[in-house]
Amino acid sequence: MPEPSFRVRRARVKDVPQIQALVAPLVEQRILLGKDAAVLYAAVQEFRIAEDAATGAVVGCGALHVMWDDLAEIRTVAVDAAWRRRHVGHALVERLEDDARDLGVNKLFCLTFEVDFFSAHGYAPVGEGIVGPDVVIELARSGDEGVAEFLDLARVKPNTLGNTRMLKVLPSAD
């Protein structure tokens, strides 16, 4: 029996309830930060979704959130349990990396429990100091919870315990 196929596309507003349902178990397990529907609708343009080619059901999602002129975060990567180990997550990350290149972003950050998965894509564990102190001051003004995670602010510590900070520098397109 052939492997079911999927395609990756830009998310649409109609996908938001399916994105919420997909990430809900991971939020419950404290693997991903929960996001209110209003936040997801406001960020829908950041998302790519993987859909079952036969049914159109959302089977995976991921987002690219630009944080600064040369830094973006790969966030909210989730794959339906029935679709894991079928390269859905890999296809999503590759598309998000393409999006980053299109935007001119050359550093990609993630905060993850899935170290092996991201290592396979060229991400490496990294400590503090990804951006300079002047950028940290600017980023601290953001109300975005992902930025708070990046900055390691106290209010998000319960969600980041055990996570690994990872970074990938994309090769220059020039």
Stronger pLDDT, 165 or 17, i.e. the higher one:
17
In degrees, rounded to 5, the angle at the alpha carbon of residue 102 between the alpha carbons of residues 14 and 135 is: 95
Q: What is the pLDDT of residue 13?
A: 97
Distant-in-sequence contacts of 95-98, Cβ < 8 A, 24+ apart: 95/8, 95/48, 95/62, 96/48, 96/62, 96/63, 96/64, 97/121, 97/168, 97/170
Q: What is the pLDDT of residue 35?
A: 87
Section 130-149 average pLDDT: 58
pLDDT at 58 over 60: yes
- Tens of pLDDT, residue by residue over 70-124, are 889 999 999 999 999 999 999 999 999 999 999 999 989 898 889 999 999 999 8
Average model confidence (pLDDT) for the chain? 84
pLDDT confidence tier of residue 139, bands split at 50, 70 and 90: low
Q: What is the pLDDT of residue 61?
A: 98
Q: What is the pLDDT of residue 166?
A: 86
Is the domain 6-169 a CATH 3.40.50.1100 member?
Answer: no
Supply the pTM of this predicted model.
0.83
Q: What is the pLDDT of residue 137?
A: 54
